[in-house]
Amino acid sequence: IRLHVSFSNYTSISMPSENIENPYLTRDYSNSPLKRYKRLGSKNYRHIYPPTNVLHVSNISHDMTINDVKDLFTKVARVAVEKVENLRDIKGQVFVVMKSLTEAIYGIMVCVIDFL
């Protein structure tokens, strides 16, 4: 399965007029308090970091070994993996250390797009 992106011809969204039959199909959430990173002191805001060469991969089958994860990135994405570590003995989650930030980004793109 591949991910295909199609860009719209429209650069903005026009809000519907008040007298439309179903005005709830289009809503403006730009001032909503529900946005995750809106408040500067929120817990979620503290977890935003710049990209790095270490990937946290989760939702892995419990049958997969560390070598299976390494093979996934080296064979499918064709990127160099330095190390794969279990995440504190939690099954289904690992850290994958790539040689560079560029390879980490490419590895994510290829593996995620190929397996969506």
Residue 33 is assigned to a structural domain of this protein: no
Say which residue, 4 or 75, is predicted with more confidence. 75
Q: What is the CA radius of gyration of the chain?
A: 20
- pLDDT, position 82: 87
Residue 34 is assigned to a structural domain of this protein: no
Residue 39 is assigned to a structural domain of this protein: no
Predicted TM-score (pTM) of this structure? 0.56
Residue 59 is assigned to a structural domain of this protein: yes
Question: 35-90 pLDDT, tens per residue?
Answer: 655 666 666 666 777 889 998 888 888 888 888 888 888 887 778 888 888 876 67
Q: Give percent of the chain above pLDDT 90.
A: 0
**Rounded-to-integer distance, Cα 111 and Cα 114, Å:** 5
- Structure token pair of residue 81: 């993996």
Residue 97 is assigned to a structural domain of this protein: yes
CATH number of the domain encompassing residue 65: 3.30.70.330
CB 13, CB 26: distance < 8 Å? yes
Domain span holding position 105 = 52-114
Number of domains in the chain: 1
